[in-house]
Structure 1
Amino acid sequence: MSFSMTGYGQSSLQFGGHKISFEVKSVNNRYCEVVLRMPRDWTGYEDMLRRIVQNHIKRGRVDVIINRELTDGAADGQALNRTMVKAYLDAAEILSREYGFPGELTLRDILSMPGVMELKEETPLAAAAAPSEEVAELLKKGLGLSLEALLEMRAREGGYLAADLSRRLDHLEELHAGISALAPLVVNEYREKLRQRLSGLNDGSFPWDEHKIGMDIAIFADRCNIDEELTRLYSHFGQCRALLLGGEPAGRKLDFLIQEMNRETNTIGSKCNHLNIVNLTLDMKAELEKIREQAANLE
């Protein structure tokens, strides 16, 4: 199954008179980058949460946002930190007196400052300021629910991308079949054109050297032979399909295969001195560019 690198998931749980909300979103990234934003007193759980995300996601930037807010009737669990309030007021007075900053602190300003309101010691979350198994299980559960929704979205979008890539591979195989059908005709057409050119130049005063003509045709046939390139291209098509159907992240391997297919296509276009084949290789390169853009969204 193919996974997209973009997705979103959220969940929420109740704990200690608080609503704990989890939000997980991912976007394209070359590597797996996990960014966590959560209450400062829970930063001790960051490594654990980062490992959980990395166990499920191998590629992409993942933002994990955990918020904690009081539920109705839970305000009794909060206490005013008078020491912190006095420190803010003293600092404001020093800034005003010594540095001339204008303005005054309002009640709204003070209440919005970090540390002014704190959890009472008897509340579950206050007791959980230090690492605890209860909070760890809460965070694991909430993050797991959000990741489940995120992975479901990534899988759904990845399915659409894989289907589109499969259709484009079908088109590449059609172009490949066209080139394969034309390849044997290149030498025959060159032979006929060479004979016509020589016939136009020959006024009967000198005989043709069939041996030299044969040597020239043989050299041309060897130089424009594209059997190896066509075989490798067809092999790459099969490898791409296998990656799209497999269960492992395919984005980087697909990127490598697309580069190889571009290289083989360029070689075919440069070796074959044939207008129709060159046009087919140009169509193939255009399709490969579309595939590259789509594959860049896969994990």
Structure 2
Amino acid sequence: MIDHALSAARLNLELGRYTDVLEPLEAVERHADRRSDLSLEAKLLRMRLALRLNEYELLSSLSDEIAEEAPANAVMQFERERIINTALRDHGDYEHLPASIDRLVSLAQRLPNEGGSKLHRALSRSLAKIGEVEHALESAQQAVQFAHDENDMRAIGNANLAYAEALRYAGEERQAVEYYRSGIDIGRDIGNRDSELWSWLGLACAYLQIEEYGECQNALKAAHHLTAEPGFDHPIETAHVGLIEALTKILSKSSTDLEGVLKPYALLGISWPEKFVSETQREGRLPSSIPI
């Protein structure tokens, strides 16, 4: 029963049905021994859910609990650090991101496959954020290779998204488009809603960076459709749709409600968009790759 409940929670998380994750998770937490592997897996799933819902205080609290309860469990600590790493990227916390990268690499060395595609996806996206674009591209290429070696379509789609992001940060937007579209197709085909949505957002950014506003709008419409669909909750992705739309309007000299655009980020405790918008307004162009 507990195994079944955990599998149901994991499946609902992967499908983006976040409201359906809690009930089976709570069943596991009621019946599993507090320090058992099943209990820890449930806590890690709850931490992933907190990330998807951008509940960062809860995420931090769960992270501390997992660190305390299973310090010698390399797999658990690696997965915990991957979630922390993503949260740091969400916040644009480039001060603490390098230390997280180092921890990921160290933890991966204790795993049988040394982290495989999961490690290199995280490294690629984090290295791109802190300006180490060449290393980001190298890690992204390794992520794609590992994913194909693992023969895992979910990993392949996620790796293609990571490679697209690295290419976009490197100023290779047209090549990035190819990988974003692959991420979209795979995500849609296998029900990986998170990967599909982030691929649409990245695609919109790529087109905006090369001033193809019509294609940008098409990608934004697809992203908006996913974020607005009843029964799903995507707080930061919804905010990103608004941000990219606002940047498009700024660059095309149209008016936009910046207070309304920035408020969702403020509610999440994320401050970098305000500075990015301000620099775009002042310079009349994007100051850098859009750091979503």
* TM-score, reference length from structure 2: 0.23
Structure number with higher strand proportion: 1
* TM-score, reference length from structure 1: 0.22
Structure number with higher helix proportion: 2
